[in-house]
A and B are shown apart, each in its own frame.
Chain A
């Protein structure tokens, strides 16, 4: 669906490159989690994928078309929810009336469903909402636009605790095999149950690009008490119960992926963890 080819980008000549010869493929039918520490280039990558920045080298193709051209056919099939955005001082109905014609697959049904999940209704005025409410309203519009690709930059920032679970519900309900969602965040706990694919970035390098099923096939995530041995563990992280460990899944066991532990493991045990996926 989206193909990032040998992308190089930096914000200044003297500054280090944010992305250097970076390549990535995003396929439809999956929710991608784009993870990384602050300043590793997650947002920059999303901007480049949306055609909002021009790479110094390389190209990004969406369904075979270079996104740098910003053709309407490309833009009407992708939606980008930035971390910070502005909404006009109009009612939601007015906003929908003015913006929905740009998206041929826009669904009012989806909009209503999404607003219901967030305990909101259509009779709201965008100028009178709090930042969190604005974010929810904008995410509802983004989902209702029914585009094949939805990109979200730190979507859970500014959402209260109930809204975070509502957000997961909304994304899950809006997914189908023809769509792809890319969620960039450093708050891994907010999205771990939602993901089908994990991308971990670190210093312009893609440390991990694997589906959740492959990760769980190769790694075993467990919680151990402090007196249990951790000799075989690839990574150990102290937790409330004792230790969160990642073990090589040589015995074909099934475990629930602990995204936070995986993320930390990929950053601290780069070589060992990468070797696991290269086997």
Chain B
């Protein structure tokens, strides 16, 4: 392959190393920001356990569950915020000189940034939450109402529970009626693989919209992207309202009922997963195209 035009992993390594080392201050502040958010999660939970003797009727499982939700929420929030940082090193004219003149292909530069705001943030999140886990012990003496059985290390269990929750190979337990007259039920398990994959791609699609927003807006990209999404949501909602949603729902229900022999829940989820994947890929591609057309001046639509 002609690495001059396409891709070189060696060069990608150089670009990433340069990106991380030269922006060490920004990365450090980012890490501290995530750490503080996780520390706040710990302190809030500890404060909850400490007040009103709540800790005495809390089970360990419930505690881990609470941490799991908070860890997940903070993680998703930061993933979305940092997705808009994808073109962070192109914010000023001086920075654009530096990055655009760097002898690497546009794809290498884009992949380097994409990895920074995705894999980089995942790594930083894990490390920051681990540090928060260590630091929260220093605050433990201030919460003397927490029972000893709840003074536990939650980091591995909480993240383990997060992974368990998002595991696509998990089996869903449900009750199945075997006899309508006797109302006899049996407990069965079924795969929810396609539903989970659809859920993943839905989140990743939303994430990719923030990637696209970050590639388009140079400043306050997170707020501008959120604002744009809300606006588009309102407009689409209004359009949907105008075309009578009840009629569409009724038509769709009828369509599903007539074709239930092949239109299973798994099949529908699989189709939706493919559709959301395509939309996600489209957003990433648009984001890359925007990057390749970056200039040293602020791009206008006319010039794109």
Chain A hits for B219, CB < 8 A: none
Alpha-carbon distance A88/B92, docked complex (angstroms)? 13
**Known contacts A53-B296, A54-B295, A72-B11; is A85 also within 8 Å of B98 by CB?**
yes
Q: List residues of chain B with CB within 8 A of the CB of A22.
A: none
The secondary structure that dominates the A interface is loop
Looking at the complex, which of A31-39, A74-82, A170-178, A179-187 is the stretch in contact with chain B? Answer: A74-82
Return the chain B residue nearest A126 by Cβ.
B22
Taken residue by residue from 107 to 135, chain B's Cβ proximity to chain A (1 for < 8 Å, 0 otherwise) reads as 00000000000000000000000000000
Nearest B residue (CB) for A100: B14
Residue contact A86 to B94, C-beta cutoff 8 Å:
yes
* Minimum distance in angstroms from B303 CB to a CB of chain A: 6
> Is A108 in contact with chain B by the CB < 8 A criterion?
no
Known: A72-B11, A85-B97, A88-B22. A54 touches B102 (CB 8 A): no
- Provide the residues of chain A in CB contact with B95, threshold 8 Å: 86
A98 touches which of B22, B105, B296, B300 (Cβ 8 Å):
B22
- Among A70, A75, A99, contact of B18 (Cβ-Cβ < 8 Å): A99
Chain B residues near A73: list those with CB within 8 A.
4, 103
Interface residues of B in 1-52 (CB under 8 A from A): 3-5, 8, 11, 14, 17-18, 21-25
B102 touching A89, Cβ below 8 Å = no
Q: Mark B282-303, 1 if CB is under 8 A from A, else 0.
A: 0000000000010111001011
Determine if A71 is an interface residue (Cβ-Cβ < 8 Å).
yes
Residues in chain B near residue A71, CB distance under 8 A: 4-5, 105
Bitwise, A33-51 to B at CB < 8 A (1) or not (0) is 0000000000000010011
Q: Which residues of A contact B94 (CB under 8 A)?
A: 82, 84-86
Q: Is A61 an interface residue (CB 8 A)?
A: no
- The reply to whether B104 and A52 contact each other, CB–CB distance below 8 Å, is no
Interface: A24 (CB within 8 A)? no
Q: Report Cα–Cα, A12/B296, bound state, in Å.
A: 15
Contact A72 B17 (CB under 8 A): no
Residue of B nearest to A86 (CB): B94
Interface size, chain A (Cβ < 8 Å): 32
Contact assessment for B101 and A11 in the assembled complex, using a CB-CB cutoff below 8 Å = no
Q: Which of B24, B25, B102, B300 sits near A102, CB closer than 8 Å?
A: B102
Chain B residues, Cβ within 8 Å of A189: none
Interface membership of B106, Cβ < 8 A: yes
Q: How far is the CB of B97 from chain A (nearest CB, A)?
A: 5
Point out the residue from A72, A82, A95 that lies within 8 Å of B97, measured CB to CB: A82
Do B22 and A90 touch (CB < 8 A)? yes
> A103 to B11, alpha carbons, bound, how many Å?
11
Whether B106 lies near A90 (C-beta < 8 A) is no
Contact flag A75-B23 (CB < 8 Å), given A13-B302, A98-B17, A99-B18: no
Chain B residues with Cβ below 8 Å from A85 are: 94, 97-98
Instruction: Evaluate whether A53 and B297 lie within 8 angstroms (CB atoms) in the complex, with A84-B93, A99-B18 already known.
Output: yes
Smallest CB–CB gap between B86 and chain A, Å? Answer: 18
CA distance A269 to B18 in the complex (A): 51
Decide yes or no whether B100 CB sits under 8 A from chain A: yes
Decide if B303 touches A54 in the complex (CB within 8 Å). Answer: yes
Question: Hey, which chain A residues are within 8 Å of B98, CB to CB?
Answer: 85-86
Known: A52-B101, A90-B21. Contact between A47 and B296, CB under 8 A?
A: yes
Nearest opposing residue in chain A for B25, CB measure:
A89
Given contacts A72-B11, A72-B105, contact A52 B303 (CB under 8 A): no
14 contacts between A and B (CB under 8 A): A12-B300, A47-B296, A50-B101, A53-B295, A53-B297, A54-B293, A72-B3, A75-B101, A75-B102, A79-B101, A80-B97, A89-B24, A99-B18, A102-B11
Binding site for A on B (CB under 8 A): 3-5, 8, 11, 14, 17-18, 21-25, 92-98, 100-106, 293, 295-297, 300, 302-303
Enumerate chain A interface residues (CB-CB to B < 8 A): 11-13, 47, 50-54, 69-73, 75-76, 79-80, 82, 84-86, 88-90, 94-95, 98-99, 101-103
8 closest A-B pairs by CB: A88-B22, A76-B103, A75-B103, A86-B94, A52-B296, A102-B103, A73-B4, A98-B18
